[in-house]
Amino acid sequence: MYLRIAFLISILCFTGCFKHCDYDQQLKSVKSLSNEQLKDVFEAIENYSYTLKNEYTNNIDGTSFKIPHLNYIVGGISKKRTYLKIGGCMDDKAIVNVRGYGELSNETNSPLITVAWGEGPYFQKVELWKEK
């Protein structure tokens, strides 16, 4: 009897804990941003990077640093690159990556925004914006 109850509780907890991994809406929203909106995102991150005092990644969240047109949960920003988790959980998540800003902008590290999602062998990545 106790084993059945423990089994049911574990199933309910497992499904309840992982029901928020869905990131389809956030992914769709990011993919629908226009080139001008993505440029605004890039410029906001680039401008914020100039205020950083060190080269290390600084943790940020969606309430401490607002980025125009983009809702994110947590992320990391440095003078070299930025990553922003827009949805998902554990290893199955959607991440927006921004690179090529500030002093590190050059031919081999041109300004770029990508989004990556999924996990394991189902991981996918799409280029959203690249400065021309």
Mean pLDDT of 8-21: 54
Cβ–Cβ under 8 Å, residues 99 and 77: no
Domain span including residue 38? 21-130
Q: Is the pLDDT of residue 103 over 90?
A: no
Q: Is residue 81 situated within a structural domain?
A: yes
Is there a domain that residue 111 lies in? Answer: yes
11's tokens = 């199933």
Band of the pLDDT at 21, cuts 50, 70, 90? confident
Does residue 64 lie within any of the structural domains?
yes
Q: In degrees to the nearest 10, what's the CA dihedral of 28, 31, 36, 40?
A: 80
Residue 79 domain flag = yes
Look at the alpha carbons of 105, 110, 116, 120 in this order and tell me if their dihedral is positive or negative. Answer: negative
For 129, residues 6+ apart whose C-beta sits below 8 A from its C-beta are 35, 38, 39, 41, 42, 112, 113
* Number of domains composing the chain: 1
Asked if residue 5 is part of any domain, the answer here is no
- Examine residue 113 and state whether it is found in any structural domain, yes or no: yes
Distance (Å, whole) CA 119 – CA 116: 10
101 in a domain, yes or no? yes
pLDDT the model gives residue 117: 94
pTM higher than the cut 0.85: no
Both tokens of 12, joined, read 């309910």
pLDDT at 13 (0 to 100): 52
Domain membership flag for residue 3: no
The pLDDT score that the predictor gives to residue 8 is 54
